[in-house]
Amino acid sequence: MIAASVAVQRPADARLLVIDALGTPREIPRRDFVSVLRRGDIVVANDAATMPASLAGRHVATGAPIEVRLAAARSLDLRDDARFAAIVFGAGDHRTRTEDRPPPPPLAPGDEIALGPIRATVERLLEHPRLAELRFTGTRDEIWSAIAHHGRPIQYAHLPAALQTWDVWTPIAAAPFAFEAPSAGFTLDWRSLGELRQRGAGFATITLAAGISSTGDPVLDARLPFDEPYRIPVPTASAIRRARLSGGRVIAIGTTVVRALESAATRDTSIVAGDGVATLRLGASTPLQAVDAILSGTHEPGTSHFELLRAFAADATLARMSEALERGHFRTHEFGDSILIERSRDAFPRTTSPHQGLRGLV
């Protein structure tokens, strides 16, 4: 696969590799994804807008330059609790590969970090020298004004030009709760939403504070995804129930939607509306209760996003998918091409409970 290096959400030549329930692949233009929907289906997307969660600053005790990437929060009531889990790097910026970034100076509880017009205090380390819980100092308005004006979108080296806020907001973005873009939602536009209604499919949203996708450290990456707070509105839970009763499928736009819905699903596959925290780490051993298909970006084996895809299809099917993506030179990362995988009809083993994510802020 080829890294998408230009921040265009809906390029005209974007492609979609569709894997049906029998594991059969076919390629279509991504703008035609609505053509795979059936009457009675419900499409669910994450409406979280992306905050500028990368903050440049300095470690006050040593004067060393650092970058703080906010990565997780306790709940969606972010304005009332200014504590975050954060990945802290030493000097540098996105133009250096994340895995090549130097570590920060040694951090300890009580250390102050100056981040533009505000300061944060290290509350504790979260079992890793570059993962810390930070508490911001100041009034609620001061803190959020500083993040809005001083922060930048989290970015990686495959995108050379600096991202702007509007580059990472999906067309349905609402309140800024996400730390990185729920980028599967880039596929959507008002034309496609109108077309899915014409096909007799429904559309609904959830909100999940999408976390960081890469830390640059294999030990930390193995702990991804961190716990992510979510909110499922009553109308969304009701729409999913109606779709189920009519025989429709639940199509999740992105891994964040899968985590939210599966976290809120009961044994009878109904969805509990309200606030919660997604702690599930979905994979090959996870019995899916709520979601029938996922539209997502192209992900490389070994990543947490790819691991979630193993809940939908057998490893042999995903291997053929990866081969097709490589052979077809599909673009990867958040501005790349996409896949749509319908839950497999194969009876592959689902024997163990899902792993838990980072619970340091819960």
Number of independent structural domains in the chain = 2
Which of these three, 123, 150, 177, is where a domain ends?
150
pTM above 0.75, yes or no: yes
Does the bond joining 225 to the residue before it have cis omega, within 30 degrees of 0?
yes
Domain range for 112 is: 54-150
Low-confidence ranges of the chain (pLDDT < 50): 347-360, 362
Query: Quick one: 249 and 296 in the same domain?
Result: yes
In a domain, 215, yes or no: yes
Which of these three, 96, 118, 150, is where a domain ends?
150
Question: What is the structure's pLDDT at 353?
Answer: 37
Q: The domain that contains 60 carries what CATH number?
A: 2.40.10.240
In a domain, 230, yes or no: yes
Q: The domain that contains 12 carries what CATH number?
A: 3.40.1780.10
Query: Quick one: 111 and 191 in the same domain?
Result: no
Query: Quick one: 83 and 189 in the same domain?
Result: no
In a domain, 361, yes or no: no
Which of these three, 99, 118, 150, is where a domain ends?
150
Question: What is the structure's pLDDT at 251?
Answer: 98
Does the bond joining 171 to the residue before it have cis omega, within 30 degrees of 0?
no
Question: What is the structure's pLDDT at 79?
Answer: 64
Question: What is the structure's pLDDT at 74?
Answer: 87
Question: What is the structure's pLDDT at 291?
Answer: 96
Question: What is the structure's pLDDT at 269?
Answer: 75
β-strands 131-137, 83-89 pairing: antiparallel
Q: What is the pLDDT of residues 206-264, one digit of tens each?
A: 999 999 999 999 999 999 999 999 999 999 999 999 999 999 999 999 999 999 999 99
In a domain, 249, yes or no: yes
Question: What is the structure's pLDDT at 286?
Answer: 87
Question: What is the structure's pLDDT at 357?
Answer: 46
C-alpha distance across the termini of the chain, in Å: 37
Query: Quick one: 170 and 31 in the same domain?
Result: yes
What 3-state DSSP class applies to 160? coil
Query: Quick one: 99 and 42 in the same domain?
Result: no
Query: Quick one: 131 and 209 in the same domain?
Result: no
Question: What is the structure's pLDDT at 242?
Answer: 95
Q: What is the pLDDT of residues 143-189, one digit of tens each?
A: 999 999 999 999 999 999 999 999 999 999 999 999 999 999 999 99
Query: Quick one: 146 and 193 in the same domain?
Result: no
How many CA atoms lie within 13 Å of 235's alpha carbon, on the beta-carbon side? 7
